[in-house]
């Protein structure tokens, strides 16, 4: 770490935010990339609105066909992808930061699959009784508790954490299979949605759910960013600086569970976005701490690009987006594992 004080953004005497120029630069670049990916999502393909007409169509000057595409097909899908990717990126950044372990990510330890099982149960077994996001939340919480109990050492031991996560993920996936087989046996698309995660046929209601959760958690995240960053330096140091390590960990994991559950309840258990986004963000910014903003942007970009790929790649055409992230993220996880072993971390 450099000893030079970072430049500060000051508003009056109340607000003083440290500025990390590299993070700022990447934030802007990622926003530009997101804009391009969003435009591509709306423009490409047979149904896409041609780029020159896009601005006009978005501001109300659209033909009925274009209105249908923007309002019903591509629009909600894009907005859900952005929100879900951001939520997954944030959840991963928080979790990886407090476990001090790139593999301590919600999708590696089975949290997303727990949420998926809860969502499937709420949607198929108790439709209308339990809202899907609540079911996902309960499932995710159950998964975290089960993993914590199985490790016996809380969430501190990376190896145990991950193996327990594999077991919990397998149980949750089996439970989801059971619920879907019992209640929606003939609907293969339902199975894909709950087992792999998909963004096809999303509505504005989904978009509202995910963005509401992201918006509501943003102030909490802002308040938590500093304690979480301190926590990375070790429990004792964090405690001595007045940020109780235990309390920080609990709050961060709770928020992470809420964000993952929201993401899963609108898009299903999408694999490995939580794992990859914070890692990419950290490499881009080279900043310590959870890198929340950049992680959220990378998450949104990764998911939007993956969704773009499954919509337009010749072989991937029409696949659930979760399969694409599973394949790409799986390779990345392998790369990450080998690197961690070389460093002797795991």
Judged by the rule CB under 8 A, the positions of this chain that interact with another protein are 103, 146, 150-152, 157, 159-160, 162-164, 166-168, 170-171, 173-175, 177-178, 181-182, 185, 188, 192, 196, 271-272, 315-320, 323-324, 326-327, 329-331, 333-334, 337-338, 341, 346
Residue 10 bridge partners (DSSP): 16
Closer residue to another protein in complex, CB, 95/211:
95
> HSE (CB half, 13 Å, CA atoms) of 154?
7
45 φ, ψ to 5°?
Answer: 90, 175
Tokens for 192, please give them: 């894909």
Nearest-approach distance from CB 13 to another protein, in angstroms: 49
Nearest-approach distance from CB 214 to another protein, in angstroms: 27
Distance CA 97, CA 118 (A): 26
Closer residue to another protein in complex, CB, 54/270:
270
Closer residue to another protein in complex, CB, 110/227:
110
CB 176 within 8 A of CB 152: no
User: 């301590």: which residue's tokens?
Assistant: 104
**Residue 320, SS3 per DSSP:** coil
The set of residues, in sequence order, having a beta carbon less than 8 Å from that of 216 and lying 6+ positions away, is none
Closer residue to another protein in complex, CB, 40/195:
195
At 17, which helix (H) or strand (E)? strand 15-18
Q: How many CB atoms lie within 10 A of CB 314?
A: 5
Closer residue to another protein in complex, CB, 225/280:
280
Nearest-approach distance from CB 275 to another protein, in angstroms: 11
Tokens for 110, please give them: 């089975």
Tokens for 79, please give them: 């907005």
Nearest-approach distance from CB 116 to another protein, in angstroms: 14
**Residue 278, SS3 per DSSP:** helix
Nearest-approach distance from CB 101 to another protein, in angstroms: 12
Nearest-approach distance from CB 62 to another protein, in angstroms: 32
Residue 155 bridge partners (DSSP): 153
Closer residue to another protein in complex, CB, 128/318:
318
């Amino acid at each position: 770490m450099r000893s030079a004080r970072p430049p500060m953004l000051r508003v009056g005497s109340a607000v003083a935010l440290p500025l990390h120029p590299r993070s700022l630069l990447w934030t802007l670049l990622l926003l530009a990339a997101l804009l391009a990916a969003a435009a591509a999502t709306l423009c490409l393909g047979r149904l896409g609105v041609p780029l020159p007409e896009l601005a006009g169509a978005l501001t109300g000057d659209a033909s009925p066909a274009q209105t249908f595409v923007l309002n019903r097909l591509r629009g909600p899908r894009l907005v859900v992808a952005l929100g879900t990717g951001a939520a997954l990126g944030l959840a991963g950044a928080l979790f990886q930061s407090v476990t001090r372990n790139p593999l301590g990510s919600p999708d590696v330890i089975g949290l997303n699959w727990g949420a998926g099982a809860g969502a499937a149960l709420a949607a198929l077994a108790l439709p209308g009784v339990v809202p899907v996001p609540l079911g996902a939340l309960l499932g995710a919480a159950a998964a975290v508790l089960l993993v914590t109990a199985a490790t016996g050492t809380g969430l501190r031991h990376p190896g145990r954490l991950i193996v327990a996560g594999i077991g919990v993920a397998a149980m949750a996936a089996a439970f989801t299979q059971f619920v879907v087989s019992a209640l929606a046996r003939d609907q293969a698309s339902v199975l894909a949605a709950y087992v792999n995660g998909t963004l096809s046929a999303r509505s504005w209601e989904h978009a509202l759910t995910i963005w509401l959760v992201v918006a509501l958690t943003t102030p909490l995240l802002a308040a938590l960013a500093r304690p979480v960053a301190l926590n990375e330096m070790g429990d004792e140091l964090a405690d001595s600086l007045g940020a109780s390590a235990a309390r920080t960990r609990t709050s961060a994991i709770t928020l992470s569970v809420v964000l993952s559950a929201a993401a899963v309840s609108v898009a299903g258990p999408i694999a490995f976005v939580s794992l990859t986004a914070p890692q990419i963000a950290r490499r881009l910014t080279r900043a310590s701490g959870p890198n929340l903003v950049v992680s959220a942007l990378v998450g949104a970009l990764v998911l939007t690009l993956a969704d773009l790929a499954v919509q337009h790649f010749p072989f991937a055409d029409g696949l659930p987006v979760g399969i694409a992230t599973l394949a790409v993220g799986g390779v990345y996880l392998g790369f990450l594992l080998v690197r961690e072993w070389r460093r002797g971390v795991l």
